[in-house]
């Protein structure tokens, strides 16, 4: 469920204290976009952060851990898990937005 924010926009608001600050800031940056887009981007970024935490030195999360090598590794893990090419493409889009 969402909540109304200033300006009348809707944000899918299930951020938790477990979300790193950069993830929280990214979701708030997306405020005003379609709630389904926000949910998809949030899910992708959370999954990436969780995957990164399984890598040596990947926890706690820091933005300097988000490298081209890390993103390639994550995409390879999606491919190895049998995720569809469209899912992989959506992950690329979400992570590109997150890295801006």
Q: Taking the CB of residue 86, how many other CB atoms lie within 10 A of it?
A: 8
Q: Three-state SS for 16?
A: coil
pTM above 0.85, yes or no: no
Mean pLDDT by 10 residues, the chain (100 residues): 45 69 92 92 96 95 96 97 96 96
The residue among 99, 74, 100 whose CA lies nearest residue 88 is 74
pLDDT at 13 (0 to 100): 57
Output the CA–CA distances (angstroms, integers) from residue 75 to 18, 59, 82, 84, 100, in the order listed: 23, 19, 11, 11, 18
Domains of the chain with bracketed CATH: 2-99 (1.10.150)
- In DSSP notation, 36-70 reads HHHHHHHHHHHHHHHHHHTSTT--S--GGG--HHH
């Amino acid at each position: 469920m969402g909540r109304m924010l200033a300006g009348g926009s809707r944000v899918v608001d299930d951020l938790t204290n477990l979300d790193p600050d950069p993830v929280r800031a990214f979701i708030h940056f997306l405020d005003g976009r379609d709630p389904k887009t926000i949910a998809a981007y949030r899910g992708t970024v959370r999954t990436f952060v969780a995957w990164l935490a399984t890598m040596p030195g990947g926890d706690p999360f820091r933005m300097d851990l988000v490298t081209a090598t890390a993103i390639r590794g994550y995409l390879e893990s999606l491919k190895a898990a049998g995720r569809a090419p469209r899912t992989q493409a959506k992950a690329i889009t979400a992570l590109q937005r997150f890295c801006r």
